[in-house]
Amino acid sequence: AAKATKLSSSVAKLSQHARCLSSQAAGGEESGRSVESIMTASTTAEQLLVLKGDKVKIVTVSPDTLLKDAAKEMVKADIGSVLVTEGSRCVGIVTERDYLKSSINETSANTPVGQIMCPPEKMISVEPNTKLQTCLELMNANQIRHVPVLSDGKIHGVLSIKDIVRQLVEDQQDEVQRLADFIAGTY
C-alpha cells in the first residue's frame, strides 16, 4: 500500500511536470508528451519552481535599500537571499553570507545593498530550461547557495542548493522505484 501511494504521488508529480512542459506549447495547449517520457527527462529549474508552487518566494529590494532592511526581509520570508532590482530588471543579489561578511568587515547595517551586492556582471544565474544537475555543478564550482532563475531579464524565481539537492534525490528515488517496478513486472 505504501509503494502504491508513493507511486501515485510520483505519477501526480510527473503529470505536473508534463503540464509545465506542455505550457511551453503555443496557447498553453498540450504538447502531447507522455508521463513516461517526462519520467526519464531531467528536471529543469522551471519545473522545480512549478513543483515548489506557492513556496516560491521572490523577494526583491532596490539598490538603495539598507543592508539591515534587506536582512529583515530575508528573516521575515525565511529565505537566504534577496534579488536587487531596478524596476523589473535584476541588477544583483544579496545573500545572508554577504550580510555576514559585511558585519565582519565592520560595514554598517545602514549601508545600501547596492554597495555590497553581487553585481550583474558577476552574478551567477540560470535560464529556466537549465537542468538541475547543471545548476548544482554551477553552484558548487562558484561556491554559492542561491541561484536566480532569469530569462530575458524576467525573474522566474530563486533556487537554493537545498531545493536542488532535495529534488535530485527525489528524482533518483523515483527512477529507482520505476526500474524496480519494471524488473518486477509491476510497471
Instruction: List, as one string, the DSSP characters of 106-154.
Output: T--TTSBGGGTSBPTTT---B-TT-BHHHHHHHHHHHT-SEEEEEETTE
Average pLDDT, the chain: 79
Cell 519520467: give the residue: 39
pLDDT digits (tens, 9 = 90+) for 164-175: 988 888 888 888
Place 187 in a pLDDT band, splitting at 50, 70 and 90.
low
Best CA proximity match to 32, nearest among 46, 22, 20: 22
pLDDT digits (tens, 9 = 90+) for 118-170: 888 899 999 999 999 999 999 999 999 999 999 987 899 999 999 998 888 88
Q: What is the pLDDT of residue 132?
A: 92
In this model, does residue 61 exceed pLDDT 90? yes
pLDDT digits (tens, 9 = 90+) for 4-30: 444 445 444 444 444 443 443 334 443
Average the pLDDT over 24-44 and give the result.
45
Q: What is the strand order of the sheet 89-95 is part of?
A: 60-61, 81-86, 89-95
Average the pLDDT over 75-84 and give the result.
93
As given in the structure block, the three cell numbers for residue 18 are: 508534463
